[in-house]
Structure 1
Amino acid sequence: MSFYFSAYSSPLLFGFVQAWGYALLLWLRGRREERLSDILLGWVLVGMAFNIWEYMLGFGGIEILWNQLEFFPRTLGYLLPVLCYFYLRTQVNTDFRFSRRDGWHAVPFLIQVTYHLVVFAQGPNFVRYWKTQVNGPYHLDDLEFWFGVVIDLYYLFLSLRLYRQYRAWITNQFSETDSISFRWFRNFLIALTLATLFGFLMDGLSVALSLNFWQNWWDELAKVVLIYYISINGYAQVQPGRRLAFQAESVPEPVLLAESVPGREALTPVGRGAHQPIGTPPVPDGLVPLRDTLLQYMAAEKPYLEPDLSLTDLARRMHTNPVVLSQVINTGVGKNFNDFVNEYRVEEFKRQLLNPANTHLSFLGLALNCGFNSKATFNRAFRKFTGTSPKEFVGQ
């Protein structure tokens, strides 16, 4: 049994080898560094490899899957979307571990595998009978396909929701979010979405135009492209310096901003960057002392000068609970933690800009001294709170 290399089979073979090679690298690194996300990404790549190996072997002239192994489970099937979802969960929560209640996610896959194994175990003659007399006439294969589509869309939805919740969470937990924004997370989802939509398109064209085995090759080539993108970029993904412990239930409920509370005026930044309340504070009476203490602490101690300041850090210094402090910042100041801290940094930059002792420093040098840790973060925050760029602000 020899493999026939051609323009159709070779790209698929390269993608198959690529997936397994990086899967092994990820498993080794995951075990060495105790990183569950690497182990799961390795399995995601294995699932992608099995998604193309039928066509790879077929184009290569090896027909064992259609002869001796007809109806034998050939892919990870319903488990691949689950693996993608849990990979993303472990990326944003380094403490994540599987629990017994997570086992239900594997139930559809186990049912699918059991069904195929039971039929396959009856022998080749029974398999032929089942396909012609039961599977086809009763459209069990179509049902299996459409159930797979539902699973793909369901876990894609869960992943998109997870990303949206995570983005909301980090703005209420950290003063610097660029290094933990997980652009890779977003790009991973975009790549999966595009590949899924292209697969649906090719399935539709295959049915409408009765495409043959060779004409369906483009769908398989798209999967190879996805393998290369996921393997290379996933392995090179820089892990955050801090341990993340995001859980969906930790996302705070939306709160009313100060300006949306009837009869209460907004809180505005005045003076030396401190937020002074005007009118009745839109926070429960029990939290007013903490709000005032927070504003005094920010003005006196300037903790915002530390680039890695987090809500937990600030709460520990003020001897309070992070949840309570977050409530004070959200309701009493009308901002999330990220904006709250970065506005102080912008005000500090504006003050330092007027100091003659700093004329030798560039804008970036000043920004770094004021707590920002990158030019992009500084420029984005400065424009957000002043409406202009630093250069335009100086020229005014």
Structure 2
Amino acid sequence: MDFTQELKDILASLGIKDAPVEIPPNPALGDYAMPCFALAKEQKKAPPIIAQDLAAQVTTHPDAGFLAKAVATGPYVNFFIKPAALIKAAFRETPRKELGKTVVIDYSSPNIAKPFGIGHLRSTVIGGALKRIYAYAGWKTVGINHLGDWGTQFGKLIYAYKHWPVDLSQREDPIKGLLEIYVKFHAEAEKDPSLEEAARAEFKKLEEGDAENTRLWQEFRDLSLAEFNRIYEKMNVTFESTAGEAFYNDKMGVVVDELMAKGLLEKDDGAMVVKFDENEGISAPAIILKSDGATTYITRDLAAILYRKKTYEFDRTLYEIGTEQNLHMRQLFAVIKKMGYSWWDCGFHVNHGLYRFEEGKMSTRKGQVIFIDEVFAQAKERTLATIQEKNPDLTDKENVAERVAIGAIIFNDLKNDR
């Protein structure tokens, strides 16, 4: 809605053609204003009197439903728009032209078999907002939840589950049950370091396709994804893919072979690395294979970005992850450039800072985690208290409080300048 034109039309119907509707310098004086000096000679009245008459007429005008009030302030008529009308105008649906471009956005990416903690909230919020913005701008969007569903931690968890079993089917919070035995493993491993080797053996069995370990891994993954989806639904966050780290297990060998064939791999203290020169401004080499032949995160991320380019043919790809990954992301894009891919500059790292707490850094191993459900619950409780104080007769208070609370948490991250 064009409020300026709407006001001019109303004023025209009252006999004032081409009304000089303007925006006042001080928002406290209204959203729009009209000076009445030019009408004084024609109407033979003082401008303040004319302003009072017009304010009364506009307020009762049948087409002024979008106005909260019209107030005479000296020789001016100040118009205040209803907040609901402003919101509706700001978020009105407008025809969008499809650009024919695709953006792949990697965000959220929590770890399987661990509760959704506040540490993954910021990536989820900012990544989800970016996806909606790109979609609104006419891009085809592909949201990817690159789940942390592989690694030695699963050897620890499988060992813990076998030695301190929990009946996950009987628990309302099966993921917290897994966290409890994961914390217990680390507590016991401090007393008996041999447990670390036993956990590595369990993970090796998983890598080799052991039926029981694979079944447990899949159960942990399914339980986690169901829990994550419950949270994403509350936040109105969606993904087109939940292919996590495990998905790329059989795709890394091809990447290593390509790096080798292009002469990019060098041996460094037993490991196979890609080094960078001074012009690239990256001092640390990218470790592709450890000295024991194991792959690393960047090996997996190289396989992922190559797979995504082939699958989605993206024009741009965004990684919404924390600032602590700055070096890793620079290495990733630099290696892609070294491999000779012309689209290396289509990748962008959208970083964010970390939440800080008096207790220090969070640690899943020690059980020092702030669960997102606890954050939601506390925000809802405070919102309910405000509703009870300000509007106790509101219907469906529980649902309203939850929606307002989660919206406030999301807005708290998005309101900040970056």
Structure 1 and Structure 2 fold alike (TM over 0.5): no
> TM-score normalized by structure 2?
0.23
> TM-score normalized by structure 1?
0.24
Structure with more contact order per residue of length (Cα contacts < 8 Å, sep ≥ 6): 1
Greater helix percent: which structure? 1
Q: Please tell me whether Structure 1 or Structure 2 has the larger radius of gyration of its CA atoms.
A: 2
